[in-house]
């Protein structure tokens, strides 16, 4: 039995990733900052709910203790929790930027570091970090890609950090498969300025699930989208 932990799993891509993994027979811990919302989502999914705020060291540690106490280990970590930040360059403050990085990038470090002792006991440990084409130099400089037309200071920089963290973890820990994912422009509440636009959330979760279910021979240290590897 494969056991997975997904952060930010009570809605959007995290929820759909959980649904697809459960459909494939995996056991899923649905991490959620809000306990009530997390429990409702987990009940609907058939997942296990665990309170997990990626900006809080104590919350992260408690969540991993809860998972460890069940005695089934942890095979897959999906660092999905994220915030969009403010697109307006002139409105960005240091405090606002720190808040975005705390969730999107530092949150990946907090959860990954806490999960590593369990992951390293797995026969096939896998980590998937939800990144973005906004964090890819190649994508944002390609006029054929929509992300090249929309400046987004803190979100883009934080997602570039997520991809670099993925590469560095992969180099440091070759026994774990680490990959970053660009899920594509997906209709979730992280895109309120284009509400109703974007691909269905099931399509957005497809690449996350694909990389969450790779074997020991699978890729590591990559940034991938639906069509394959996305240059960083």
Mean pLDDT across 139-153: 92
CA gap 56, 37 in Å, rounded: 18
The structural domain count of the chain equals 1
> Percent helix, strand and coil across the chain, each rounded to 5?
50, 15, 35
CA gap 148, 145 in Å, rounded: 6
Q: Which of 159, 169, 171, 195 is catalytic?
A: 159
The answer to whether residue 171 is catalytic is no
> What residue has token string 């979760």?
205
* Phi, psi (degrees; rounded to nearest 5) at 63: -60, -45
> What residue has token string 């498969």?
177
Residue 200: CB partners within 8 Å, gap ≥ 6? Answer: 186, 187
- Burial letters 161-174, b for 16+ CB under 10 A, else e: bbbbbbbebbeebe
Model confidence at 190: pLDDT above 60: no
Q: Angle between the 107-119 and 153-172 helix axes, to the nearest 10 degrees?
A: 20
Q: Whose CA is closest to 166, among 178, 182, 183, 157?
A: 178
Mean pLDDT of the chain: 93
Q: Which of 15, 90, 155, 195 is catalytic?
A: 155
Domain that includes residue 122, residue range: 3-229
The answer to whether residue 159 is catalytic is yes
β pairing state of 222-225 and 76-79: unpaired
**pTM of the predicted protein model:** 0.93
Give per-residue pLDDT as tens, 60-100: 999 999 999 999 999 999 999 999 987 667 778 999 999 99
CATH of the domain at 56: 3.40.50.720
pLDDT grade for 1, boundaries at 50, 70 and 90: confident
pLDDT grade for 116, boundaries at 50, 70 and 90: very high
Helices (H) and strands (E) in the chain, counts: 8, 8
């Amino acid at each position: 039995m494969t056991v997975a932990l997904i952060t930010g799993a009570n809605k959007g891509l995290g929820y759909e990733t959980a649904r697809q993994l459960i459909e494939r027979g995996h056991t899923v811990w649905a991490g959620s900052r809000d306990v009530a919302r997390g429990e409702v989502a987990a009940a609907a999914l058939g997942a296990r709910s665990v309170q997990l705020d990626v900006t809080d060291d104590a919350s992260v540690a408690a969540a991993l203790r809860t998972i460890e106490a069940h005695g089934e280990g942890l095979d897959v970590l999906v660092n999905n929790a994220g915030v969009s930040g403010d697109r307006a360059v002139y409105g960005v403050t240091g405090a606002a930027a720190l808040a975005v990085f705390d969730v999107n990038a530092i949150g990946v470090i907090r959860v990954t570091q806490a999960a590593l002792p369990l992951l390293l006991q797995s026969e096939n440990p896998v980590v998937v970090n939800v990144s973005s084409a906004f964090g890819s130099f190649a994508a944002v400089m390609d006029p054929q890609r929509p992300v090249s037309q929309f400046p987004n200071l803190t979100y883009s920089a934080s997602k570039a950090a997520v991809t670099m963290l993925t590469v560095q973890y992969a180099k440091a820990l070759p026994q774990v498969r680490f990959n970053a994912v660009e899920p594509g422009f997906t209709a979730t509440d992280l895109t309120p300025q284009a509400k109703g636009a974007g691909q269905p959330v099931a399509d957005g979760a497809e690449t996350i699930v694909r990389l969450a279910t790779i074997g020991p021979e699978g890729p590591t240290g990559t940034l991938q989208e639906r069509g394959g590897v996305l240059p960083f």
